[in-house]
Amino acid sequence: MGVILRILRRLSLLAILALVGASIWFWFLPVGVNNYINKVSIELLIDSPELLTLLGMIDNTPLDFHSGRLSDYTKAQDVKTIAKLRRAREGLDRYGPKGLTGQELLSWRITAWYFDDRIRQAEFEYGGYRVNQISGVTVDMPQFLTDLHVIKNEKSVKRYISRIDDFGRVLGEVKARVEDDRDHGVAPPDFIIEKALVGMRSFIEGGAENNTLVTTLLEKLEKIGLSEEKKADYMAQATKAVATEVIPGYQAMIAIFEELLKNASHDAGIWRIPGGDAIYAAALKFHTTTDFTADEIHEIGLAEVTRIETEMDAILVAQGLTEGSFAERVRQLMEDPTQQFQNTDEGREAMIDYLEALNDEVMAKAGDYFITLPPQPLEIVRVPAYSQDSAAGGYYSPPALDGSRPGRFYINQKDTADFPKWTLPTLMFHEGSPGHHFQISLAQLITGVPFIRNVLPFSAYTEGWALYAERIAKTNMGMYDDDPLGDLGRLQSEIFRAVRLVVDTGMHAKHWSREQAIEYMVSKTGNTNAEVTREIERYVVWPGQATAYKIGQLAILDMRAETEAALRDEFDQREFHETVLMNGAMPLDILDGVVADWVAEKEAN
**Residue pLDDT, tens place only, 551-572:** 999 999 999 999 999 999 999 9
- Predicted local confidence at residue 530, as pLDDT: 87
- Predicted local confidence at residue 12, as pLDDT: 37
Query: Into how many domains does the chain fold?
Result: 3
Same domain, 64 and 145: no
- Predicted local confidence at residue 30, as pLDDT: 53
Same domain, 63 and 108: yes
Please tell me the distance from the alpha carbon of residue 77 to that of residue 82, in angstroms, as a whole number: 9
Same domain, 119 and 132: no
Of 427, 413, 409, 417, the closest CA to residue 486 belongs to 427
Same domain, 437 and 357: yes
Phi, psi of 396 (to 5 degrees): -120, 140
Does pLDDT of 183 surpass 90? yes
Cβ-Cβ contacts under 8 Å for 597 (sequence gap 6 or more): none
Torsion of CA 269, 270, 274, 275, to 10 degrees: -120
- Output DSSP code: residue 341: P
In a domain, 275, yes or no: no
- Predicted local confidence at residue 357, as pLDDT: 96
pTM greater than 0.75? yes
- Predicted local confidence at residue 61, as pLDDT: 85
In a domain, 567, yes or no: no
Same domain, 101 and 154: no
- Predicted local confidence at residue 393, as pLDDT: 83
Does pLDDT of 374 surpass 60? yes
Cβ-Cβ contacts under 8 Å for 63 (sequence gap 6 or more): 22
Domain boundary among 123, 142, 174: 123
Same domain, 145 and 197: yes
- Predicted local confidence at residue 47, as pLDDT: 64
Please tell me the distance from the alpha carbon of residue 471 to that of residue 360, in angstroms, as a whole number: 18
Q: What percent of the chain has pLDDT over 90?
A: 80
In a domain, 218, yes or no: yes
- Predicted local confidence at residue 51, as pLDDT: 80
Does pLDDT of 605 surpass 80? yes
Cis previous bond, 248, omega within 30: no
Q: What's the pLDDT tens digit per position in 268-293?
A: 999 999 999 999 999 999 999 999 99
- Predicted local confidence at residue 46, as pLDDT: 61
Same domain, 346 and 450: yes
- Predicted local confidence at residue 443, as pLDDT: 92
- Exposed e or buried b per residue across 321-333, where buried means at least 16 C-beta atoms within 10 angstroms of its C-beta: beeeebeebbbeb
- Indicate the residue type of 100: L
Torsion of CA 227, 229, 231, 237, to 10 degrees: -150
Same domain, 42 and 177: no
In angstroms, what is the C-alpha Rg of the chain? 24
Give the angle 439-539-284 at the CA atoms, nearest 5°: 65
- Predicted local confidence at residue 184, as pLDDT: 97
Mean pLDDT value of segment 36-65: 80
In a domain, 581, yes or no: no
| H or E element that contains 113 | helix 102-122
Same domain, 324 and 447: yes
Does pLDDT of 25 surpass 80? no
Average pLDDT, the chain: 91
Does pLDDT of 19 surpass 50? no
Same domain, 394 and 471: yes
Please tell me the distance from the alpha carbon of residue 260 to that of residue 96, in angstroms, as a whole number: 48
Of 312, 354, 297, the closest CA to residue 493 belongs to 312
List residues bridging with 378 in a β-sheet.
Answer: 407
In a domain, 565, yes or no: no
Same domain, 295 and 316: yes
Does pLDDT of 9 surpass 80? no
Same domain, 455 and 512: yes
- Of the pLDDT bands very low, low, confident and very high (cuts 50, 70, 90), residue 26 is very low
In a domain, 195, yes or no: yes
Does pLDDT of 24 surpass 70? no
Tell how strand 394-397 and strand 378-382 pair up: unpaired
Count of residues for the chain? 605
Residue 133, domain extent:
128-188+190-264
Does pLDDT of 367 surpass 90? yes
Domain boundary among 75, 92, 123: 123
- Predicted local confidence at residue 23, as pLDDT: 41
In a domain, 259, yes or no: yes
Please tell me the distance from the alpha carbon of residue 422 to that of residue 509, in angstroms, as a whole number: 35
**Collapsed DSSP state (helix, strand, coil) of residue 559:** helix
- Predicted local confidence at residue 6, as pLDDT: 40
- Of the pLDDT bands very low, low, confident and very high (cuts 50, 70, 90), residue 15 is very low
Q: What's the pLDDT tens digit per position in 240-263?
A: 999 999 999 999 999 999 999 999
Q: What's the pLDDT tens digit per position in 526-549?
A: 888 988 998 999 999 999 999 999
Residue 272: alpha-carbon gap to chain centroid = 25
Cis previous bond, 97, omega within 30: yes
Please tell me the distance from the alpha carbon of residue 162 to that of residue 445, in angstroms, as a whole number: 33
In a domain, 274, yes or no: no
List residues bridging with 396 in a β-sheet.
Answer: 409
Does pLDDT of 21 surpass 70? no
